[in-house]
Amino acid sequence: MNVGVLTIRFKRLDVFIVLSGVMFLSQLQGVAAGNKPAECTRDLMFIFDASGSMGTTDLTTNEPHIARVQRALHRILPELPPSRRMGLIIYGEGAYNQCDSIQLKVRPQINAGELIVSELDKVQPAGRTPLTQSVREAAEILNYRHNPAVIVLLTDGEETCSGHPCDLADALKADAAGLTIHVIGYRHRDAAGLGDVFGARCLAEETGGLYLPVETEDQLVDALRKTLTCPLTAEIPDSRKPLRKAEISIPLR
């Protein structure tokens, strides 16, 4: 009887480990001592600016700010896991002289993506910017003193209702179990009379969050992805390097 040889070739072992362990690594990412949940899985409150300035246009286009923000959210929200508890607060839809126009549109819950998109599509920018009080109410709803949570604030303007975001940042940091606030500042760099940095930046700096200034829809999507999704920490080996092969010879009878 002729005896043949079956040769089995395996790709480099470390490639196999990386690929087979992706799910495990992503689950572990960001988990601190004490088995606290990764930030990208914590309860989230999204705060949306619907003040009058969101209905205005940039110097380069006739499209209002809100239209691009809505499209960006339509693009990013389907990427979020339905199991994550998310909520939505909208401020500024009231009359121009009102500072109490803060509405909880969606209480943090699972499968909230479609509800949030539906509410955002109804927004009619009109009023002022009670930014500080909106963040305070979001923190309370998230039970920030006992529950590690995340707030994502998207605004195109400054506080206009006598609030002090930096004072609030200090107070929240002192009491929070683990509250992270990300601030996305949407403003065209050539906007007349406006500075490059938002006053609300300190909310992010004091709580370990990100401050992300943006101008375009694509930049909005990138900023939302950085603050809302789980980045992949596993690294794939350089594809330019040749793969080593292990050969196992098995006699065939």
Residue 196 lies in a domain: yes
Residue 27 lies in a domain: no
Q: Which domain holds residue 184?
A: 42-228
pLDDT of 243 above 50? no
> Are the C-beta atoms of 252 and 6 separated by less than 8 Å?
yes
Between β-strands 211-214 and 246-252, what pairing exists: parallel, antiparallel or unpaired?
Answer: unpaired
> Are the C-beta atoms of 109 and 91 separated by less than 8 Å?
no
> Residue 48: its pLDDT value, please?
94
Rounded to 10 degrees, the C-alpha dihedral 113/115/220/89 comes to -120
The total domain count for the chain is 1
Q: Kindly state the average pLDDT of the residues 65-77.
A: 89
CA 156 to chain centre: 17
Residue 26 lies in a domain: no
Of the ranges 6-15, 132-141, 146-155, which one carries the lowest mean pLDDT score?
6-15
* Mean pLDDT, all residues of the chain: 78
pLDDT of 236 above 60? no
Q: How far is residue 143's CA from residue 137's CA, in Å, rounded to a whole number?
A: 10
The values of phi and psi at residue 199, to 5°, are -60, -25
> Residue 252: its pLDDT value, please?
45
pLDDT tier at 59 (50, 70, 90 boundaries)? low
> Residue 195: its pLDDT value, please?
53
Between β-strands 4-10 and 43-49, what pairing exists: parallel, antiparallel or unpaired?
Answer: unpaired
pLDDT of 46 above 60? yes
Q: Looking at residue 146, which CATH number applies to its domain?
A: 3.40.50.410
Q: Kindly state the average pLDDT of the residues 116-123.
A: 93
Residue 215 lies in a domain: yes
Residue 13 lies in a domain: no
> Residue 237: its pLDDT value, please?
42
Work out the percent of the chain whose per-residue pLDDT is above 90. Answer: 49
For the entire predicted model, the pTM comes to 0.75
Between β-strands 102-109 and 86-91, what pairing exists: parallel, antiparallel or unpaired?
Answer: antiparallel
CA 77 to chain centre: 9
- Give the closest residue to 51 by CA, choosing from 99, 106, 91, 98: 91
According to DSSP, the residues that pair with 117 across neighbouring strands are: none
Q: Which amino acid is at 249?
A: S
Residue 63 lies in a domain: yes
pLDDT tier at 63 (50, 70, 90 boundaries)? confident
pLDDT, greater one: 194 or 82: 82
Residue 73 lies in a domain: yes
Rounded to 10 degrees, the C-alpha dihedral 171/53/92/125 comes to -150
**What does the pLDDT look like over 145-177, one tens digit per residue?**
999 999 999 998 889 999 999 999 999 999 999
Buried b (16+ CB within 10 A) or exposed e, 159-171: bbbebebbebbee
The values of phi and psi at residue 185, to 5°, are -100, 115
Residue 25 lies in a domain: no
